[in-house]
Structure 1
């Protein structure tokens, strides 16, 4: 059994859940875009309304967007800033929390490790199992946004949408790595999943609440500090330094997960 065999088997076990989540995201995209025309016709200055919100609220749920009259700005607020970064990110961290802890919890880990494969390769195989799920979610949501924009006769710049989904996919990979590390550390699935969600949600709030304060440096611990959907989709700007941090973080977390699992006593 190799890493790829483990990945394919694990993905097949999770296929139904991934399809359900993907369908829910498609429905969310459809509903969000369907509301946009009436949103634009409302007799309310939403940009002025946004300015009246507290800075912490705008950082968490609006990001860098200052104009929501365009479809891109609207999608950042209604879809990418909250749903993608917090909800979808938490889901992948939660799902990854059972990758290793699930085997230990079910006491099936011994039957897996008696095969000629090291613990490190086992961890890598489990991690790889989540990558097709991330790709599927990204492709389907991307296509849904393009289709939805066409149905309401709105233009959206495809190149910028590619950017937000490319960096967004890397962000989800990091969320999986967070869950993988928690899964390698805890023996119980619930503890691993709870810890994974706690890290994603807690650091999301940490990034928002410390912006423009003396403790802003603490926000560097949050993955959301290194991805800005508004800059990507509205301005078309890529923070390559942030991309590098996300990539290195994912690699470090996977290595740590493998090291933790190598040292665990499963007796």
Structure 2
């Protein structure tokens, strides 16, 4: 009953550990930079136009919370990790259909609903690896340079990011059951996530168009609010969770009705 889940989970392990290693290197780089440029942050903030800070949601760069929120979470996590989940989600079904492995899978006594659910459930591996490994790296890195994070805020920025990352994976999953070619599904998924992230950022610059960002998933995960202001938007996380389950439900319905 869980053979697909076990197989898919093993496939995600290597990539997840590689991502954690990448974040370890990035964190070491940024933490080594912070003590030397901390005193110059006021001048740095004055040198950049205000819309740049609105675009990326940057605040309090002279604090370790604001610096790491800007350098690691507002770009690498909210965009690149989100793209990774969209990319993986887009290949869950489409790659097996393209390579004809799905025909073999469907010849076994397993329902189509179970196939979709087990494949998306295998994303627990990168979710756990990243959301356990990265905060430990960040917390230890701060201590190493004589700084510290509120451990609750650090834990919450990761916990509240899970629904956001799952929505990105859900977008990829829907495309995976609609598009037969894995490359096309993956390319479309990562493009959609990037465009949503960009629209969210650009819409923040002009209050007249800020409402447009309400239709993007990244609007509902505010890393700076969590780390700098310790504001936890549980309602936004709940909304993203609902959207994720709707996307999975849509993917299941489409896949069940597809002729493969």
Q: Fold conserved (TM > 0.5)?
A: yes
Change (3 A) 1:216 1:42: closer
Matching of residues 4-23 of structure 1 within 5 Å: 4-23=2-21
Are residue 238 (structure 1) and residue 236 (structure 2) matched? no
Aligned pairs, number: 259
Alpha-carbon offset, residue 44 of structure 1: 5.4
Residues 47 and 67, structure 1, Cα contact 8 Å, conserved in 2: no
Deviation per CA, 1:77-130, whole angstroms, max 9, x where unpaired?
A: 100011100011101111221110010011110110111111111100000011
Point out where structure 2 has 5 or more consecutive residues left out of the alignment. Answer: none
- Give the corresponding residue for 1:171: 164
- Give the corresponding residue for 2:101: 108
Q: Which moved more, 1:211-220 or 1:87-96?
A: 211-220
Residues 160 and 234, structure 2, Cα contact 8 Å, conserved in 1: no
- Give the corresponding residue for 2:151: 158
Which structure's residues are more often helix, by fraction?
A: 2
Residues 60 and 204, structure 1, Cα contact 8 Å, conserved in 2: no
> So what's the TM-score if we normalise by structure 1?
0.92
2:111 to 101, 105, 118: 118
- Give the corresponding residue for 2:211: 217
Between the aligned partners of 2:54 and 2:24, the Cα distance in structure 1 is: 26
SS in 2 for 1:257: helix
Residues 131 and 173, structure 1, Cα contact 8 Å, conserved in 2: no
Alpha-carbon offset, residue 46 of structure 1: 2.7
Q: C-alpha root-mean-square deviation of aligned residues, in Å?
A: 1.5
Change (3 A) 1:178 1:43: closer
Alpha-carbon offset, residue 138 of structure 1: 1.1
- Give the corresponding residue for 1:258: 252
Residues 200 and 216, structure 2, Cα contact 8 Å, conserved in 1: yes
> So what's the TM-score if we normalise by structure 2?
0.94
